[in-house]
Structure 1
Amino acid sequence: MPIRTNRGRTAVYRRLWGWPLRSPRHLVGTLVILAVVLTALGILLPKAIGKPGQTASGPGSSATATSRPGVAAPVTVTSTLPPRLTTQPPPSSAPPDQDGVRVAKEWVTAWANHPDGTTTEQWLSGLKPYTTDEFWSTDLRTVDPANITATRVNGEPRVASSVTGSMEVDVPTDGPKVRVTVVKTNPGWRVTKFTQAG
């Protein structure tokens, strides 16, 4: 069994500490590695613990105050950023399109057409030509036609609002008034939403 003495450890430590002084090339390599390690620590440590003296002077601007040795007053650097738009401009109003009004009336006519014995699939197939695919395949499938009190359209539709590519049209029925939202798509005007007013 080998005997371990302090002399052996001391020799190893002496070799490690003496390696940089063995030749000029070893010394330069050691100094370069030491400089890289110190630079990395100087960059990473302030990010890890946060920079002291950093303040924000308002929305859209940032100010950083840093003090240097030998300088009496802190140096403040301020940058102002342009304001960021958070809202889109409202769409421009447009005159009503009679094709869209016609589609709204035909949709409400098909919506109110549900005689006794009409299945949900039959009722939905009557609405399909006037409805967007998304609205037809999702929201309308949750409607039970037996719960609709209207049976026919009993007046002319009136445009409540009209913007480029979209309109809201009120259609009177013998039940509630129905407000229909129609949008212009590639196949033409289609219904994307409806609500009932008492």
Structure 2
Amino acid sequence: MPIRTNRGRTAVYRRLWGWPLRSPRHLIGTLVIVAVLFTALGILMPKVIGKPGDTMVSGPGSSATMTSRPGVAAPVTGTSTLPPRLSSPPPPSSVPPDQDGIRVAKEWVTAWANHPDGTTTEQWLKGLESRTDVEYMAELSSVDPANIAATKVVGEPRVVTSAQDSMTVDVQTDKPKVEVSVVKTNAGWRVTKFTQVD
């Protein structure tokens, strides 16, 4: 039976608005329902309404086309070329190489290649010690100097990369070229790694 009086309507409205306050369970249930509704609206509204302007389809290095929806002002179609994405990080900034670092690299390779017949590992390491990082000395202790083909340095060192406190230097020997990494420490420039380059 329909409600025909204002008093009847007021009573119905009072029951509806009062329902959440009847018990803590009703209040929590109401808050959960409201939260779900707001979340659903927040997710669905942008999809339904869209952004003012329209849709933009693009890819790296391609042109982007903008089209406006009917009923939206300024129905202009334009294309713009997007800049390409960086495929690799920019190279590290280079600084003028420190001559002391270059000198240490050359002296280290000279000592590394100096291993006359009968030289023990201890004698060979002694020649490298003053120019080698302490931690790297432990790795070098496993090297047998008899297995090193080079016997002397035959060219001037060439700086490959140079930063504020580190650099990589190539030193040519009578056999392989040796690439040495040197780092500036509190004790001065020290070698932290070497690689033989064929």
**TM-score interval (norm. to shorter):** 0.5 to 0.7
Query: Counterpart in 1 of 2:132?
Result: 131
Query: Counterpart in 1 of 2:103?
Result: 102
Distance 1:72 1:185 in 2: 59
Distance 2:144 2:32 in 1: 78
Distance 1:71 1:107, change over 3 A: closer
- The Cα of 1:131 is off from its aligned counterpart by 0.3
Distance 1:116 1:69 in 2: 85
Distance 1:163 1:68, change over 3 A: same
Matched, 1:161 2:155: no
How many pairs were matched up? 125
Other structure's SS at 2:100 match: helix
Distance 1:173 1:76, change over 3 A: same
Extract unaligned runs of 5+ from structure 1.
1-38, 43-65, 79-87
Query: Counterpart in 2 of 1:141?
Result: 141
Query: Counterpart in 1 of 2:83?
Result: none
**Cα displacement string for residues 86-109 of structure 1 (whole angstroms, at most 9, x for unaligned residues):** xx9975321111100000000000
> Could you say what the CA RMSD is over the residues aligned between the two structures, in angstroms?
3.0
Query: Counterpart in 1 of 2:113?
Result: 112
Query: Counterpart in 1 of 2:94?
Result: 93
TM-score (ref. length: structure 1): 0.57
**Cα displacement string for residues 113-164 of structure 1 (whole angstroms, at most 9, x for unaligned residues):** 000010000000000000010001x211121111100000001000001011
TM-score (ref. length: structure 2): 0.57
Q: Structure 1 residue aligned with 2:38, among 57, 64, 75? A: 75
Query: Counterpart in 2 of 1:54?
Result: none
Which runs of structure 2 are paired with 1:1-198 in the superposition (5 Å)? 68=31, 71=34, 74-76=37-39, 92-136=93-137, 138-198=138-198
